[in-house]
């Protein structure tokens, strides 16, 4: 989602950075446009406009930070599914 939005809505180079930090995967996309993500309310039959909603549903956290050359949009997700309480993996 982050890469697709950078390709569709910005011009110039972009960079994808992936980092594992403990139990989280951090995905960063750097591009040359300082305009951050925009939340939209879309009709149920719309073909687009749900990017921020998808990020809310699929990630633990996400955001956008201005840089000297544009912005970095990032998200973090768990690299493993937590075990339910009482299972052997959680004891």
Query: pLDDT per residue over 9-68, tens digit each?
Result: 898 899 999 999 899 999 999 999 999 887 777 777 767 777 888 898 899 999 999 999
Asked if residues 24 and 76 have their Cβ atoms less than 8 Å apart, the reply is yes
Question: For 40, how many CA atoms within 13 A lie in the half-sphere containing its CB?
Answer: 13
Domain extents for the chain? Answer: 2-80
Task: Give pLDDT, residue 70.
Answer: 95
Task: Give pLDDT, residue 13.
Answer: 94
Q: Of 27, 26, 15, which is closest to residue 70 (Cα–Cα)?
A: 15
Task: Give pLDDT, residue 82.
Answer: 60
Asked if residues 54 and 37 have their Cβ atoms less than 8 Å apart, the reply is no
Asked if pLDDT for residue 79 goes beyond 70, the answer is: yes
Q: Which CATH class is domain 2-80?
A: alpha beta
Q: Rounded to an integer, what distance in angstroms lies between the CA atom of residue 71 and that of residue 14?
A: 10
| Strands in the chain per DSSP E | 15-21, 24-31, 61-67, 70-78
Task: Give pLDDT, residue 52.
Answer: 85
């Amino acid at each position: 989602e982050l890469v697709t939005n950078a390709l569709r809505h910005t011009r110039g180079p972009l960079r994808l950075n992936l980092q594992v930090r403990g139990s989280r995967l951090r995905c960063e996309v750097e591009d040359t446009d300082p305009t951050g993500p925009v939340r939209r309310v879309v009709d149920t039959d719309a073909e687009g406009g749900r990017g921020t909603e998808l990020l809310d549903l699929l990630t633990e956290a996400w955001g956008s930070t201005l840089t000297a050359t544009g912005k970095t949009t990032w998200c973090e997700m768990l690299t493993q599914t937590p075990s339910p309480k009482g299972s052997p993996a959680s004891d």
